[in-house]
Amino acid sequence: MPDNEAGQPSGKDQDRTDRERDDHDRTDHDRTNHDRTNQERTDQERTAADLAATVSQLMRRLRVASPQGALTPSQRTVLGRLANGGPATTAELARAELVRPQSMRVIVAKLEELELVARTPHPTDGRQVLFSLTEYGVEAVASVRHSKHAWLADAIAHRLSPEEQRTLAEATRLLQRLVEE
């Protein structure tokens, strides 16, 4: 069909022009969304890497601040798990910490040697034993936690402005959401 008097395409030509424009607009929109998605992904990956490095540094600082410097991170984690969750078998501890049972037996044996944990027979399965904190273990966990919390509270109070402290409190809530299962 010929162009109308205003020089505009009409009929089928107009429909084709509209479809071509729509396809072009959709392609531009898709490309923009793709670019934005890639940028967002890159930003998220950068944030994830920065966060992982910062958390790792914070954990090292907290370990240094605590009086149980002779304990390995794995030993500290097991003590914390027993303090929070109560008595457990080596198999339960190994599953919770994502290590082999043999590795957990070595960790628990050292904690037992240090008199931080004690073994008792399992109440329903005579083949297993439960490990729990000794009185000394409870005191050690409390001391470690107090030292860590004191160091961190002091660092927050002296290194961050009140506004930054509020931001950190909000970020802490967000981090808690990330680790919830």
Give the tens place of pLDDT for each residue, 118-162: 999 999 988 999 999 999 999 989 988 898 899 999 999 999 999
Q: What is the dihedral of CA 154, 155, 157, 163, to 10 degrees?
A: -160
Query: Of 1.10.10.10, 1.10.3720.10, 3.90.1150.10, 3.20.20.330, which CATH number belongs to 72-179?
Result: 1.10.10.10
Phi and psi for 12 in degrees, rounded to 5? -60, -35
For 14, 96, 111, 125, the CA distances from 133, given in Å and listed in that order, are 81, 17, 9, 20
Q: Is the pLDDT of residue 51 over 80?
A: yes
pLDDT tens per residue, range 86-122 = 999 999 999 999 999 999 999 999 999 999 999 999 9
